[in-house]
Amino acid sequence: MKSFVASLSACMIASQLAAASFTPICHEPDSHPAIGAIYFMTNDGTANKVIAHEIQPDGTVVFGKTAWIGGKGLHGNDAPAATGPDPLFAQGALQVSGNHLFTINPGSNTASMFEIDDRDPTKLRLIGVPVNTGGEFPMAITASPKTNHVCVANGGKVNGVQCFTADPEQGLLPIQNSQRLLKLPLTTPPVGPPGTVSNIQFSGDGSKLFASVKGVPPKPGFIATWDVNQDGSLSQNFKSSTPAKGGMLPFSITPIPGKNAVLNTDAGVGFSVFDFSRGDVASSTVIPIKGQKATCWSAYSSKTGTFFLTDVGTATVTEVKVDQNLRGSIVKQYPLGAGTATVDNGIATVNGKDYLYVLQANITSVNVMSLKAPGQAKTIQTFNFAADAKKAGITVDRNNLQGMAVYTKF
């Protein structure tokens, strides 16, 4: 196993960042300055970069800046052979916690930590250097604001999790006794989506770490749960929770506020609700979404009290609710255009209102929806960033785009 040292020297990082870190696109002066940003990554095999869009006071976005993540991207091998969007078969390639952005380099087996400039949230400063993730093909990252711990899920030949402390001066520092292997029969890059790692997430209080793994039909996948100690180390073994009958391909993990439970999209059926109130082995219920093809990503809106799920196959956003008894149901569906490949999503609260940001990979666009009330989501912008990216000298391959993280000042 590779040691947990930076794969690139500090000198090399500094010199390359000086040339390639921030590439601004100039706009006319705006009387409504950015109050936040959204972030996703190019996952380019030569130089993996973050693309940051400014969030305006009305929730819409404009192109901002780019930053080199300090490594390379890598696309998984689709089965069957067609190659398309969702290159990591995962949710969570980028994560915002406080004023920091965390992300991964799948082709370099590294993770990076950035400081977000509060005056200009599209401006990112790399802290320390990219660090080895303790495995191969890192595909998701999570951060706990409660404990200041960060964990990465690796989804290649060496698969599992590795955790770090987020140091504001030194960057990501490996935590001893926090590497845990899943020992799945995968390659680097993995063949998927079935059988691959999907997501990693802390519980709300940071005491548990979850990782989801898709099944290989007819065998269902599972959610692995580790206990997290105060020093960030993990319990030696994980507890496995499988979905109820009908569940097959566990994907995203989104905590349900006020409950010891999570909503888990399932690319094979719709979504599941996992109830951990009785321990680390959860009971679950499966809620089908009729006509779905690949429901994979999810986010929660505190303003509407509902979840928003995206399906890359049907290019549809499905709004769902989970009641106090953890019963899930569909509120409404919002088609966003056949073939647009709706992948990762995220929600930001702007001036007291929630907005949903959906990456539409096939049309190199971000769809922005205002979330006025349950069942009343409305598209207010479809922003094609390809032209601005080209002006910035950024190579954008629609099949490699991945991730969605959000930051707001207030």
Total domains in the chain come to: 1
Q: Tens digit of pLDDT for each residue in 344-384?
A: 999 999 999 999 999 999 999 999 999 999 999 999 999 99
**Is pLDDT at 110 greater than 90 in this prediction?**
yes
Q: Tens digit of pLDDT for each residue in 170-218?
A: 999 999 999 999 999 999 999 999 999 999 999 989 999 999 999 999 9
* Residue linked to tokens 């319990």: 235
Given 3-state DSSP classes, what are the helix, strand and coil percentages for the chain, each rounded to the nearest 5?
Answer: 5, 45, 50
Determine what percent of the chain is predicted with pLDDT higher than 90.
Answer: 88
The pLDDT value recorded for residue 410 is 72
Residue 3 located in a structural domain = no
Residue 4 located in a structural domain = no
Residue 121 located in a structural domain = yes
CA dist., res. 314 & res. 219, Å (int): 25
The pLDDT value recorded for residue 19 is 36
**407 beta partners:** 37
pTM of the model: 0.92
Name the pLDDT band for 80 (thresholds 50, 70, 90): low
Q: Can you give the residue range of the structural domain that contains 228? A: 10-408
Looking at residue 7, the DSSP 8-state letter turns out to be: S
Name the pLDDT band for 409 (thresholds 50, 70, 90): confident
Q: Mean pLDDT of all residues in the chain? A: 91
Q: Determine phi and psi for 85, rounding to 5 degrees.
A: -60, 170
Q: Tens digit of pLDDT for each residue in 383-395?
A: 999 999 999 999 8
CA nearest to 296, candidates 328, 342, 347? 342
Residue 247 located in a structural domain = yes
Opening angle at CA 232, ends 89 and 403, nearest 5: 25
Determine what percent of the chain is predicted with pLDDT higher than 70.
Answer: 91
Residue 98 located in a structural domain = yes
The pLDDT value recorded for residue 84 is 77
Name the pLDDT band for 81 (thresholds 50, 70, 90): low
Q: Tens digit of pLDDT for each residue in 36-74?
A: 999 999 999 999 999 999 999 999 999 999 999 999 999
Residue 2 located in a structural domain = no
Identify the CATH number of the domain in which residue 354 sits. 2.130.10.10
CA nearest to 95, candidates 160, 174, 41? 41
Residue 243 located in a structural domain = yes
Residue 31 located in a structural domain = yes
